[in-house]
Chain A
Amino acid sequence: MLSNLINRKIFTLLKVQYSNMLEYRVEIALWAISGIIPFFMLNIWTNNNLNESINVSDILLSRYFLCAFFVRQFSVVWVVFSFEEDSLMGKVSPYLIQPLNPFFRYFAQHLAEQITRFPFALIIAFFFFIFNPESIWIPNLGILLLSIVSTFLSFLIQFLIQSIVACLCFWTEKASSIERLLFIPTLFLSGLLAPVVSFPAYVKSWIYLTPFPYLIDFPANLLSGNETNISGGLIMQILWIFILIPLFKKIWSEGTKKYTAMGS
Chain B
Amino acid sequence: MNLRKYLKVYKKFLHTSLASELEYKTNILVDLITAILSLVGSIFLLSIFFQNSGYIGGWKFEQALIIQGIYTILNGITNTWFNPNLTEIVKHIREGTLDFVLLKPIDSQFFISLKKINPSGFLEIMLGFLLLFFCIRINQINLNLSFLTLSLITISCSICILYSLWFFISTTTIWFVKTWNATEVLRSFLYIGRFPLSSFSFSLRIFFSVFIPIAFITTIPSEVFLGLSVFWKILLEIIVATIFLINSRKFWLFALKFYSSASS
Contact = CB atoms under 8 A, between A and B. Distances in A.
Interface of A: 24, 26-27, 30-31, 33-37, 40, 43-44, 46-50, 52-53, 172-174, 177-178, 180-181, 184-185, 187-188, 193-194, 198-200, 203
A177 B31 contact: yes
Contacts of B179: 26-27, 30
A31 B45 CA distance: 24
Contacts of A40: 191-192, 200, 204
A53 B191 contact: no
A44 B195 contact: yes
A203 B47 CA distance: 12
B140 interface: no
Contact of A194 (B48, B52, B181, B199): B48
Nearest to A32: B185
Interface stretch (B32-40, B216-224, B235-243, B255-263): B32-40
A37 B47 contact: no
B144 interface: no
Contacts of A47: 57, 199-201
15 contacts: A30-B181, A30-B185, A34-B181, A34-B187, A34-B188, A37-B191, A40-B200, A52-B52, A172-B26, A180-B34, A181-B34, A181-B37, A185-B41, A187-B41, A200-B51
Contacts of A35: 188
Contacts of A180: 30-31, 34
Q: Which of A48, A50, A193 has the most CB of B within 10 A?
A: A48
A237 to B, nearest CB: 23
A200 B199 contact: no
A1 B200 CA distance: 59
B48 A184 contact: no
Contacts of B188: 33-37
Nearest to B199: A44
Contacts of B56: 44, 48, 50
B33 A188 contact: no
Contacts of B24: 173-174
B6 interface: no
Contacts of A187: 41
B204 A43 contact: yes
B259 to A, nearest CB: 19
Contacts of A48: 49, 53, 56-57, 199
* Secondary structure class of chain B's binding surface, majority of residues: helix
B142 to A, nearest CB: 30
A50 B181 contact: no
A198 B44 CA distance: 12
Nearest to B208: A40
The 5 closest A-B pairs by CB, nearest first: A53-B52, A188-B41, A34-B184, A184-B37, A34-B188
B45 A193 contact: yes
A188 B184 contact: no
B40 to A, nearest CB: 8
B176 interface: yes
Interface in B166-213: 176, 178-179, 181-182, 184-185, 187-188, 191-192, 195, 199-201, 204
A97 B33 CA distance: 37
Contacts of B187: 34
Contact of A181 (B30, B47, B178): B30
A46 B191 CA distance: 18
A53 B50 CA distance: 10
Given A173-B24, A188-B41, A200-B47, A27 B181 contact: yes
Interface string B141-155: 000000000000000
A47 B204 CA distance: 11
Contacts of A199: 48
B27 A177 contact: yes
B42 to A, nearest CB: 8
A198 B49 CA distance: 9
Contacts of A46: 201
A15 to B, nearest CB: 22
Nearest to B52: A53
Contacts of B49: 44, 48, 50, 194
Interface string B47-79: 111011100110000000000000000000000
